Amino acid sequence: MTTRTTPERVTAQRADRRRWAGLAVLSASLLLVVMDMTILNLALPAMAEDLRPSSVELLWIVDIYSLVLAGLLVTASSLGDRLGRRRMLITGFVIFGAASLGVLLADSPATVIAVRVLLGVGGAMIMPSTLSLIRALFPDARERATALGIWGATAAVGGALGPIVGGALLQNFSWHSAFLVNVPVMAAAVVAAFLLLPESRSERPGRLDPVATVLSIAGMVGLVYAIKQLGKHGVTAEVLLVGVLGAALLFAFVRRCLRAPEPMLEIRLFRGRGFTAGVLTALITSFAMVAALLLISQWLQLVQGWSALASGVALLPMAAGGLIGSPLAPALAQRIGARTVLVGGLAVGALGFLLLFVLPQPLTYAGIAASLTLIGIGTAPLAVASAVIMAGAPVDQAGSAAAIEESSYEIGAALGITILGSLAAAIYRAGLPGDAPTQARESLAGALTLGDPTLATTAQTAFTNSLTWFGLAGGLLLLAVAALVLHLTPRTLDLTATHH
């Protein structure tokens, strides 16, 4: 007996193929962002040698992208809800590609920071549009959970490809190639988005609020600046003043959103305990993972003396752990519960960090690889966290949910580098002799350029010691957050529940 193919069935099959092809485009957007992050980590030593940035400038080169992106996510999400999410996505692709091309003009730390600012603007348009379009493309909660699992696995693929592609580029070209690789990918993404993605808008978009935008950007920059200076100079009047001012501006932003009948960002979504647990999981996982990638990639190059390509390949265990676990996490959540998967992932990641602390000295790559693998497996529940977040928001509030989730990733990345990175930097400086030159105290890369073998060895030992204490701090933090997520997440949380 043959099955008759009706015009309606053909239309449905084409629509289904178009949805999954659209998911491929959206996942590719995430792939590029993750690759860009890991490539930059590998490029930092070469960039530092060429441009000689101070430690603060180096941190800003890494952080400014996340700060700008996090600050503009709410505005970009609101504009996407109103003007069209596909339109916002494509505009972000264009800006991201143009900014990457602009690195050819960069000849100082300040100009690299400017390029990273523009990349942040483009990224702010790309990221919330990606998640909002997934929410629109897959109204069925089960399909959406599968789609978000694929989307999350793409992050692991990016983590795998980024170090290898970046290492190969840096082995043969200058550090500028870490940015230029974005240009052809963005050009292809623009064409694919036009052909495969439908336009999507919210029926009830939040109103644009310039005051809220300024409050969010100024508050976040002020708070992170204070944390950086705290790690470098300790408690000072400037640190306290800027930190309190940043926190006050962020409080004013939240209060303004809560009072508005149609806020730019729907803060009230946090009334859902599952939603809050998902956001917290995303934030702290990004917080820990990005800081680990940054410090370990520098340890491989500056302490072990490995090339950029070898260091990129050496980071593969983290990507492999995430790549294996991410597609399986949503199905596992259906069997044993989303809460168990979220808490279990954080606990496994914590073990990876604590392993850095308990490994015998001197550290070897075998121990680092084991730690990276556990940290990678710990990132797998991010797909479940995304499903929890998007399932907890009505369709009309998908933009707010996406902005909150992406903000948690980017704020987590910025704060992870700032807090854990500043902690590691403070321990590194404490391990140097009191009369060490300023250049050596600024960074390990600076110490290695002074041509003093004794100082170089001391600085490398101090950096390795800072990495072990970084592992203890990261592990304890992840365990504390795992306990909080266990408390917040309802035992009966159902990822298949759909809000309308």
Regarding predicted confidence, which is higher, 482 or 45?
482
Please tell me the distance from the alpha carbon of residue 228 to that of residue 240, in angstroms, as a whole number: 12
Q: Residue 163: what pLDDT?
A: 66
State mean pLDDT over 195-223: 77
264 and 325 belong to one structural domain = yes
- Does the pLDDT at position 429 exceed 80? yes
Q: Are residues 237 and 376 in the same domain?
A: no
Tell me how far apart the alpha carbons of residues 440 and 451 are, in angstroms, rounded to a whole number: 11
Structural domain ending residue among the three candidates 259, 292, 318: 259
Average pLDDT, the chain: 79
Are the CB atoms for 112 and 164 separated by under 8 Å? Answer: no
- ω before 362 within 30° of 0 (cis)? yes
The predicted structure's pLDDT at residue 234: 67
Tokens of 324: 């294996």
Do residues 292 and 414 share a domain?
yes
Give me the mean pLDDT over the 240-266 stretch.
Answer: 86
Q: Which two tokens stand for residue 457?
A: 């060895």
Could you tell me if 360 and 322 lie in one domain? yes
Among 199, 229, 259, the domain boundary falls at: 259
Residue 117 CB burial class (10 angstroms; 0-12, 13-18, ≥19): middle
Residue 58's SS3 state is helix
Number of Cβ within 10 Å of residue 8's Cβ equals 8
Indicate whether 1 belongs to any domain: no
Cα separation, 427 vs 489, whole angstroms: 36
Look at residue 180 and tell me whether its pLDDT is greater than 50.
yes
Task: Give the other-Cβ count within 10 Å of 281's Cβ.
Answer: 30
Do 417 and 294 touch, CB atoms closer than 8 A?
Answer: yes
End-of-domain residue from the set 195, 224, 259: 259
Same domain, 106 and 87: yes
Choice among 73-87, 215-229, 392-406 with the minimum mean pLDDT? 392-406
Domain presence at residue 428: yes
Say what the pTM is: 0.70
In a domain, 29, yes or no: yes
Most confident of 36-50, 136-150, 296-310: 296-310
For residue 139, what is the domain's CATH number? 1.20.1250.20
| Whether 326 and 393 share a structural domain | yes
Residues 190 and 226 grouped into a single domain: no
| pLDDT score for 72 | 79
Asked whether residue 7 is assigned to any structural domain, the reply reads no
Domain shared by 179 and 277, yes or no: yes
Q: Measure Cα distances from 343 to 283, 480, 483 in Å.
A: 14, 10, 7
Give the tokens for residue 179: 């940015």
* Residue 278 · residue 408 · CB < 8 Å: no
Q: What is the DSSP letter of 46?
A: H
pLDDT band at 241 (very low <50, low <70, confident <90, very high): very high
303 and 443 share one domain: yes
**Buried/exposed 215-233: b ≥16 CB within 10 Å, e otherwise:** bbbbbbbbbbbbbbbbbbe
* Interval 346-395: pLDDT, tens: 999 999 999 999 988 888 899 999 999 998 888 877 777 777 777 666 66
Range of the domain at 251: 210-259
> pLDDT tens across 108-128, in order?
888 889 988 898 888 888 877
Is the pLDDT assigned to residue 14 strictly greater than 60? no
475 SS3 class: helix
| Nearest by Cα to 29 from 171, 131, 113 | 131
| pLDDT tens-digit map of 17-40 | 777 888 888 877 777 766 776 677
Confidence of residue 98 (pLDDT cuts 50, 70, 90): very high
493, amino acid identity? L
Q: How many domains does the chain have?
A: 2
Q: Do 163 and 181 sit in the same domain of this protein?
A: yes
**pLDDT over 60 (residue 156):** no
Do 52 and 62 lie in one domain? The reply is yes
Report the pLDDT averaged over residues 102-112.
Answer: 85
Is residue 128 a contact partner of residue 73, using CB atoms and an 8 Å limit? yes
Stretch 167-191: mean pLDDT: 83
Which residue type occupies 492? T
333 confidence band (pLDDT: 50, 70, 90): confident
Which bin fits 34, alpha (ψ -120 to 50), beta or left (φ > 0)? alpha
Residue 9: per-residue pLDDT: 45
- Are 189 and 310 found together in one domain? yes
Q: What is the mean pLDDT of residues 446-466?
A: 84
478, 353 contact by CB (below 8 A):
yes
- Residue 271 neighbours by CB distance under 10 Å: 9
Residues 125-138 have pLDDT tens digits of 887 777 778 777 77
